[in-house]
Amino acid sequence: MYQLGKGRSTEFRFLSYCALPLWRSARLEALPRAILGSQGMVVSSAQKTFYIETFGCQMNFHDSEKVVGSLISQGYRQVEREEDADLIFYNTCSIRDKAEQKVFHRLADFKKLHREGKRFAVLGCVAQQEGERIFERAPHVSLVAGSASYRNLPEMLVQIEGGATRVTGLDDRETDQTFETEFTARGNPHRGYITIIEGCDKFCAYCVVPYTRGKERSRTSQSVLEEARRMADAGYTDIQLLGQNVNSYRDPLGKTSFAEILAAIGELAGIRRVRFTTSHPRDFTKDIVDAIDAVPALCDHVHLPVQSGSSRVLSSMFREYTREQYLERIAWMKAARNREISITTDVIVGFPGETEAEFAETLGLLDEVGYDGVFSFKYSPRPNTPALQYSDSIADAEKSRRLQMLQEHQREIQRKSYQRHLGRKLEVMVEGKNAARGQMIGRTSQNKTLNFTTNGVPEPCVGEYVMVEVTQAFPNSLLGRMVEWAS
């Protein structure tokens, strides 16, 4: 789910999971007049520059949009290469060991730039997890800050500019505050993220997130709705609500449940699509399915990570549900009267003690649910987590074998199930163009890629909605031809 796109990106590292195109110029919202020139350009005598690279999940990606907005509001200008920046930010991920190692490789690769006076800052989950140890491993780093401290970024920048070399923002994980800023520099002018809840209190046995992102804290329904309304007014049509566990959203004003806030955003004028991620099966309630069934703008897609098909393994992971309870939630979605809800999931293979028979239960679950997509990972032992006490008993080669087996099994499921779309007319949001193939790239409400040709009709623009008839199905995407503009 959280694999990174290949190649160095210009602004943010692109997440292959969310399959968003990269927008080259960040959209600046709500920049204060003082720093806007007559053409809407940022003007500053000093024009300090920064580069930022983002690893990890959508929440990190969206945090970077807020960090970029805050930096621009402080008079910084974003550049596309480390070499051109005064300040270099890495917004990091620690979910698996490989993700964590990436930042240290990056810091080593660009260490030489420190001699030219450039400053390095490590943000995000590795920053929170490793804390001041990062200064020992990479002495050229000047700032280490976890996500709960970003609201203090302007003060931290002042310290760095004053010559401080070891600035930290690490002690804020118990805060009740969320990181809200009016200076979000959203990278896509049609589809945008809104964080509704930060942190996680679930403490799954394998997971670093509760230690890196701190305790759960929800934004008020009022501030979430205001942000959604502002986005709708600015022309956004597609909104994705974010949280490590969106379903445990609790309105601090006590007014609105998760399903209600979802429906309220779906009913805003101008909003055509609302998605949410990530759901936790324990907190996934039937009223969410009822809301999807009732409100057309709520997308036909739920990502419901299962992790394992074995109730014994789930209990050892502290997931707080059994296979049967998980399947009950699947049954709610399949019973939706007006919608065909596409279901995707995450699976971990080779969790400590997972037997061959338990792994086979997971394969069986994939058949039973008929997922439209599975993000699968080899178990990776993580610092501070309870699963470190279990022996990591399954050899890496065996984890790899199970991973490959699972992926092949799922590919076969999708190869057959994507055929069900043949001949259907589906609405897509246009995401771009593949000039080499002469195809436009679209995304369906079910979050599937549906590429299409226009047969001489003028091509729609990115962000527009059109109806496409599906003519071919592949295991991970669909192909079709545009039939009309969507109403």
Residue ranges that bind ligand F3S, judged by CB under 6 A:
2, 56-57, 59-60, 93-95, 124-125, 208-209, 212-213
Interface residue with ligand SAH, options 348, 403, 473, 482 (CB under 6 A):
348
Please report how close the Cβ of residue 62 comes to ligand F3S at its closest, in angstroms: 10
Task: Pick one of 17, 206, 249, 332: the residue that binds ligand SAH (CB under 6 A).
Answer: 206
Distance between CA 108 and CA 328 in Å, rounded? Answer: 49
Of 9 and 159, which CB lies nearer to ligand F3S in the complex structure? 9
94 interacts with, out of ligand F3S, ligand SF4, ligand SAH, none, CB within 5 to 8 A per kind? ligand F3S
Binding partner at 69 among ligand SF4, ligand F3S, ligand SAH, none, C-beta below 5 to 8 Å by kind: none
203 binds, among ligand F3S, ligand SF4, ligand SAH, none (CB under 5 to 8 A by kind): ligand SF4
> Considering only 164-172, 207-215, 370-378, 423-431, which stretch makes contact with ligand SF4 by CB under 6 A?
207-215
Selection from ligand SF4, ligand F3S, ligand SAH, none that 210 binds (CB < 5 to 8 A by kind) is ligand SF4
Residue 125 CB, shortest distance to ligand SAH, in Å, is 10
Which of 288, 341, 351, 286 lies closest to 319 in space, CA to CA?
351
Q: Is 2 in the site for ligand SAH (CB under 6 A)?
A: yes
Q: Name the residue with the smallest CB distance to ligand F3S.
A: 56
Site residues for ligand SF4, 215-244, by CB under 6 A, read: 244
How distant is the alpha carbon of residue 416 from its chain centre?
Answer: 28
What number of chain residues touch ligand SAH (CB under 6 A)?
A: 19
Give CA–CA dist 215/244, Å, rounded. Answer: 11
Positive or negative torsion for Cα 309, 403, 409, 337: positive
Q: Considering beta carbons, is residue 170 or 462 the nearer one to ligand F3S?
A: 170
For ligand F3S, which is the closer residue by CB, 60 or 308? 60
Q: Please, are residues 355 and 402 in contact by the beta-carbon 8 Å criterion? A: no
308 binds ligand SAH (CB under 6 A): no
Identity of residue 323: R
Using H for helix, E for strand and C for coil, what is the string for the chain?
A: CCCECCCCCCCCCCECCCCCCCCCCCCCCCCCHHHECCCCCECCCCCCEEEEEECCCHHHHHHHHHHHHHHHHCCCEECCCHHHCCEEEEEECCCCHHHHHHHHHHHHHCHHHHHHCCEEEEEHHHHHHHCCHHHHHCCCEEEEECHHHHHHHHHHHHHHHCCCCCEEECCCCCCCCCCCCCCCCCCCCCEEEEECEECCCCCCCCCCHHHHHCCCEECCHHHHHHHHHHHHHCCCCEEEEECCCHHHCCCCCCCCCHHHHHHHHHCCCCCCEEEEECCCHHHCCHHHHHHHHHCCCECCEEECCCECCCHHHHHHCCCCCCHHHHHHHHHHHHCCCCCCCEEEEEEEECCCCCCHHHHHHHHHHHHHHCCCEEEEEECCCCCCCHHHHCCCCCCHHHHHHHHHHHHHHHHHHHHHHHHHHCCCEEEEEEEEEEHHHCEEEEEECCCCEEEEECCCCCCCCCCCEEEEEEEEECCCEEEEEEEEECC
Q: Which does 1 bind (CB under 5 to 8 A by kind): ligand SF4, ligand SAH, ligand F3S, none?
A: ligand SAH
Nearer to ligand SAH, 95 or 274 (CB): 95
Q: For ligand SF4, which is the closer residue by CB, 57 or 153?
A: 57
Q: Is 95 in the site for ligand SAH (CB under 6 A)?
A: yes
Q: Taking CB under 6 A as the rule, which mask of x and - marks residues 142-181 in contact with ligand SF4?
A: ----------------------------------------
The verdict on 4 binding ligand SAH (CB under 6 A) reads: no
Contact of residue 380 among ligand F3S, ligand SAH, ligand SF4, none (CB under 5-8 Å per partner type): ligand SAH
Which one of residues 15, 93, 107, 200 is an interface residue with ligand SF4 (CB under 6 A)?
A: 200
User: HSE on the CB side for 286, CA within 13 Å?
Assistant: 8
Q: What's 10-27 look like in SS3?
A: CCCCCECCCCCCCCCCCC
Among 129, 245, 310, 316, binds ligand SF4 (CB under 6 A): 245
Among ligand F3S, ligand SAH, ligand SF4, none, residue 212 binds (CB under 5-8 Å by kind) = ligand F3S
Could you say whether residue 352 binds ligand SAH (CB under 6 A)?
A: no
Q: Which stretch binds ligand SAH (CB under 6 A): 44-52, 205-213, 360-368, 421-429?
A: 205-213
Q: Check binding of 71 to ligand SF4 (CB under 6 A).
A: no
For ligand SF4, the closer of residues 186 and 219 by Cβ is 219
The span from the CA of 435 to the CA of 267, in Å, is 36
Q: In what order do the strands lie in the sheet with 238-242?
A: 191-195, 238-242, 273-277
Q: Is 210 in the site for ligand SF4 (CB under 6 A)?
A: yes
The partner in contact with residue 468, picked from ligand SF4, ligand SAH, ligand F3S, none with C-beta cut-offs of 5 to 8 angstroms by kind, is: none
Contact 462, 474 (CB under 8 A): no
- One character per residue 224-253, x = contact with ligand SAH (rule: CB under 6 A): --------------------xx--------
Which spans of this chain sit near ligand SAH (rule: CB under 6 A)? 1-2, 95-96, 206-207, 209, 244-245, 278, 280, 305, 307, 346, 348, 377, 379-380, 382
Which spans of this chain sit near ligand SF4 (rule: CB under 6 A)? 200, 202-204, 207, 209-210, 244-245, 280
